[in-house]
Amino acid sequence: YFCIYCIMNMVITKTLTHWYSVNKRDLPWRQTKKPYFIWLSEIILQQTQVNQGLPYYEAFIIKYSSVNALAEASESEVLKLWQGLGYYSRARNLHSTAKHIVKELQGEFPKDYKGLMQLKGIGDYTASAIASICFNEVCAVVDGNVFRFLSRYYGIRTPINSSRGQKEFKGLAQQLISRNNPSEFNQAIMEFGAIQCKPKNPNCSVCPFQNECIAYQENTIVELPVKLKGAKISKKHFNFLVFISDDHKTIIEKRKGSGIWQNLYQFPLIESPSEMDNQGVMTHLKTLPLINESSCTLSLYNENEIIHKLSHQHLYTKFWIVELETLPTASIEIDSIRDYPVPILISNFIEAFNF
């Protein structure tokens, strides 16, 4: 039984790597084994599809060609280049880790999974990817693509976002991984999930695993993988105050705290439990010391709230234009507003409004 099981695993591994050799996409990070480039690509591709992440990867390696160059940048510069990718903690951790590697590790990445796991922003998946691709360590990667392929092939219904599921799929992937070429295997199984065993409408008619795939045989492809339902998504109402003075200045603020937009810039914000109207915003404006209500004009930019969907909350947003004569010294020239890193919600407004 053990030998048959081993042979089955070897067949799966061989089939995946052969499929990869024929079907793999030509991507720039596949032309190198240098940890900096692999690390950068993996951080960018967390929560991001390749077609969206590729331009960002190319922009980063042009501006920051080494971990030293990235470490020397300011956080604001890094966040500006990251703008539009979302999940900004990735960018903050990327920058923080670059500085740590340069300052504490003499610019050298740890050369094994255990050492990589000590770095900020690097978890099991990223450490496994870097360790296998750069240092040939036999360490299986498990990302969404791997969860999907393995759950469908073996008909596994253990929720992938449970601790039991994480352990079960990691163990299974570790059994399958090639001992001779872990780098090729890891890239093969991820690529297979990305372009063949896709989340929706996978092309099962040309799948090399069609005859063995339990999900295909039992017609349960759409049901797998199983995922536990997350927390209920909250709803918030955001009202941004877009100040415009006669001498072409405005106000933006740097977000503090530990939220997803930490250290990004935004227009002054009023959060409200429900949708605000003109009177409600004007009442708030009267409390601000810089406002002289007799010389202030308030207008609503968007009649319908813009709904900005984040993973854990939906933001119902209005932009209020506040025109007035002068602003305090803390204001900035409107012409410089595009120099600041902002959330995509703000960036979209800036481009649409065009001042």
- Answer yes or no: are the C-beta atoms of 226 and 160 closer than 8 Å: yes
Distance of CA 4 to the CA centre of its chain: 41
Which residues pair with residue 250 across a beta bridge? 332
Q: Is the bond leading into 225 cis (omega within 30 degrees of zero)?
A: yes
Q: Is 303 a catalytic residue?
A: no
Phi and psi at residue 87, in whole multiples of 5°? 45, 60
Tokens standing for 239?
Answer: 């009202």
Cβ neighbours for 179, distance < 8 A, ≥ 6 positions apart:
138
In order, the DSSP letters of 166-228 are HHHHHHHHHHHS-SS-HHHHHHHHHHHHHHTS-SSS--GGG-TTTTT-HHHHTT-GGG-S---
Tokens standing for 242?
Answer: 């877009």
Q: Which amino acid type is present at position 243?
A: F
Annotated catalytic residue, options 42, 137, 184, 191: 42
In total, the chain counts a number of residues equal to 355
Coil/strand/helix, residue 73: coil
CB atoms within 10 A of CB 205: 7
By annotation, the residues acting in catalysis are 42
